[in-house]
Chains A and B, each alone.
Chain A
Amino acid sequence: MELLDAFLPYLLPIFYAVAMVSVFMGLCSYSVLAERKVCSWIQGRVGPNRTRLPLLGHIPILGNLLTGLGIFQPAADGLKFLFKEEIVPGHVNKFYYMLAPVLALAPALTTMVVLPFGRYVDADGITQPLVLANVDLGMLIILGISSLGVYGIVLAGWASNSKYPFLGGIRASAQMISYELAMGLALLPVFMWAATPGSDYGMSLFGAVQSQQTLWLFIWQPLSALIFLVALFAETNRLPFDMAESETDLVGGFHTEYGCFKFGLFFVAEYAHVIMGSALFVLLFLGGWNFLPGLADPWGESLIGSLLSIAWFTTKVFSMIFFFIWMRWTLPRFRYDQVMSLGWKILLPLAVGNLVFNTIIIVLYDTFTR
């Protein structure tokens, strides 16, 4: 028992982290299913509706319903990726070829350490975030770690040692650099407004959520929200900007030479980035777990209240994931030069202008209200 007490401070964080990764990976596999279903509905098809698990799928009515919704499909997909023959082409650089999928997934999973997903009220009556590590640099950590994610794609393109993946990798790195700037600059006004004089939040996401109790930032910082959203699509390599894959001109882009589980890792990484991006947008601009603009927190201080805040947050995140998927099947892909000129010639000047404008407003506000 004493041994348990001694190790509990080390074991609990590990337990929490494993729980969060499990939930997150579950979400990833089901957003793949959501993508396939939404895509087929948009295109007037049915989508995956035949995979049936032996026992669960044969419950009279429920079984048919679940099968029709394709609930068992992710399990089948995952098993297929696992049991296919691992083919490594002969012309690749083996070490980096193997390393790249891992490097693509690991940053996406690391960033969730600082992602708050709900709130609770502690014994002293102070509202605290539900988060693995409550640090005051949350946003910077997410930006920093996710900027490492591009190495997975670049290395995959390079290690594959063939033309199309190489072009995909190069495009990915150029695009990532271009849009990271606009993204960071669009975020600055948010934190300048959120960190009012006297608050201790700094760059933490919890502070950003707490500052949106009366009015969501999406409403009074629409330009920041728009720039951030566009940059988010570019950083997650989603369709209007999926230059790295671009199957019409690059076959499969950076993962052309990949198969079975290594391809699966890239696939999961993309959805992990989508979920992280959605969660980030909800936290920064859509009020996090605050109920509605003007009605922040009607849930009370009990455990039920915390659970409701988590549920409301996840609902918002799912809507954002749906928005991501909806965009993918609605908009055509940009040409590569259009992506670059949009990033450098439109988004970046807009973001700089937005920052300067907000700085002036804040200075005026501080001068006249004091």
Chain B
Amino acid sequence: MTDTLFYVFAAITLISALLMVVSPNAVNGAICMIICFVTTAALFVLLEAYFLAVIQVLVYAGAVMVLFLFIIMLLDVNKDTSDLLKDKMTLGASITGFTLLVILTFSVFAGGQHLPETPLLPVMENPTGEGAGIPFTTSAKSFGYSLFTKYMLPFQVTGFLLLAAMIGVIVVSKKHSENS
């Protein structure tokens, strides 16, 4: 059952990702990207990472894509951009992408005829502080506990990066008052 669902969702993810890249219409592309995000969330569910799945839908499919659609519709991207530049960009991007694909495939299969079977890493226990530690499970609470104890530093760094990006956006979008 789980295997079948995995193949179904994986297939939808890959097909929609491909369609998103090749579709000439920007709105079609955005819709394919949404489908891709939602099916990725379904894959997370199959991995029992429920919290991640819900966040994937909430943040990517819900919020980011609405902004994307908003921009696509307001700017009407289909009509502008000179074709020459677009073609060069497409050519460059395709070559880079396929090179990456070749390297990845080669490095995976290099040295043997099959996929390497790496042993699963042992799950590190959450630290136990003054309050009783919460063991690593699939619940949201355990997720939050890990985030604020074991992964505190990465969490803070990510937050700082986002803050920097936000301030950058404000600086860039702010119109200078030329009164000097």
Among A141, A173, A202, which residue has its beta carbon within 8 angstroms of that of B66?
A: A173
Residues of A within 8 A of B50 (CB): 135, 137
Instruction: Decide: A197 and B131 in contact? CB cutoff 8 A.
Output: yes
How many contacts A-B (CB < 8 Å)? 71
Residues of B within 8 A of A174 (CB): 70
Instruction: Decide: A144 and B58 in contact? CB cutoff 8 A.
Output: yes
Instruction: Decide: B73 and A170 in contact? CB cutoff 8 A.
Output: yes
Residues of B within 8 A of A96 (CB): 27, 31
Interface of A, secondary structure class, is helix
Within 8 A of B (CB), among A9-27: none
Tell me, yes or no, whether A154 is within 8 Å of chain B by CB. Answer: yes
Given A145-B57, A147-B58, A173 and B70 touching (CB < 8 A)?
A: yes
> Chain A nearest CB: distance from B114 CB in Å?
35
> Chain B nearest CB: distance from A153 CB in Å?
10
Tell me, yes or no, whether B44 is within 8 Å of chain A by CB. Answer: no
Tell me, yes or no, whether B55 is within 8 Å of chain A by CB. Answer: yes
Chain B 10-27: CB-based contact to A (< 8 A → 1; otherwise 0): 000000000000000001
> Chain B nearest CB: distance from A69 CB in Å?
40
Given A166-B73, A197-B131, A136 and B141 touching (CB < 8 A)?
A: yes
Given A173-B69, A177-B66, A144 and B54 touching (CB < 8 A)?
A: yes
Tell me, yes or no, whether A140 is within 8 Å of chain B by CB. Answer: yes
Tell me, yes or no, whether A148 is within 8 Å of chain B by CB. Answer: yes
A150 to B73, CA, bound (A): 14
A180 to B65, CA, bound (A): 14
A135 to B141, CA, bound (A): 12
Instruction: Decide: B66 and A140 in contact? CB cutoff 8 A.
Output: no
A143 to B58, CA, bound (A): 7
> Chain B nearest CB: distance from A200 CB in Å?
7
Instruction: Decide: A177 and B73 in contact? CB cutoff 8 A.
Output: no
Tell me, yes or no, whether B67 is within 8 Å of chain A by CB. Answer: yes
Within 8 A of A (CB), among B17-75: 27, 31, 34, 38, 50-51, 54-55, 57-58, 61-63, 65-67, 69-70, 73-74
A195 to B141, CA, bound (A): 9
Instruction: Decide: A202 and B62 in contact? CB cutoff 8 A.
Output: no
Residues of B within 8 A of A203 (CB): 140
Contacts A/B (CB < 8 Å), 6 sampled: A137-B51, A137-B140, A140-B55, A147-B58, A180-B62, A202-B140
Using a CB–CB distance below 8 Å, which chain A residues touch chain B?
Answer: 96, 135-137, 140-141, 143-145, 147-148, 150-151, 154-155, 158, 166, 169-170, 173-174, 176-177, 180, 195, 197, 200, 202-203
Top 4 A-B residue pairs of the complex, sorted by shortest distance between their CB atoms: A147-B62, A144-B58, A144-B57, A202-B140
